[in-house]
Amino acid sequence: MPSMRTALADAEEVHRRRVIGLEQYLEALAEENASAVVASEMSQKKVVGPRRAVPHRRHASEVTELSPDYQALMAAAADGGDDGLGARRAAVVLGWDSASVSRVEGARARLKRLVERGWLVEAKPGRFTLPVPPSQQDTGAGRPGGGS
């Protein structure tokens, strides 16, 4: 018979997957409807409807092309330097309750989305940093931070 902790952990995992799934669904819906709502967005001061999709890094020239939430995450990742940005801190940056597992997982999903689109890298598990520009990449040994 599973313990209460095991049952709670299982329920939290199911909830985390549903939150991520919902965010992915909303993003896909936003991408699908993006062309249909462009004309109506131009006439409105406040955009109503799905949030803006995250463009791939190679299709966008600046961070300012990201939505304000994603811009805030990028700024926090830059401030994090080599230590990077974790999901709990990202939740705080987004103005969410960092004690809420679902909010932390939602923040992690957004960070992972930025990784998928080339805006951030996850060099260490759970730590998200800005990618190193090709001109600054080291080609061999002596890397700062080394391996473990």
Closest CA to 57 of 100, 115, 126: 115
Residue indicated by tokens 């940093």: 129
In a domain, 88, yes or no: yes
Q: What is the CATH number of the domain that holds 94?
A: 1.10.10
Domain assignment present for residue 111? The answer is yes
Question: Is residue 113 in some structural domain?
Answer: yes
Average pLDDT, the chain: 77
C-beta separation of 128 from 121 below 8 A? yes
- The parent domain of residue 111 ranges over 4-34+56-132
Does residue 61 lie in a domain region? yes
Identify the band that residue 111 occupies on the pLDDT scale cut at 50, 70 and 90: very high
Q: What is the pLDDT of residues 25-61, one digit of tens each?
A: 777 666 666 545 444 444 444 444 445 577 777 777 7
Instruction: For residue 44, tell me if it sits in a domain.
Output: no
Q: Is 107 inside any structural domain?
A: yes
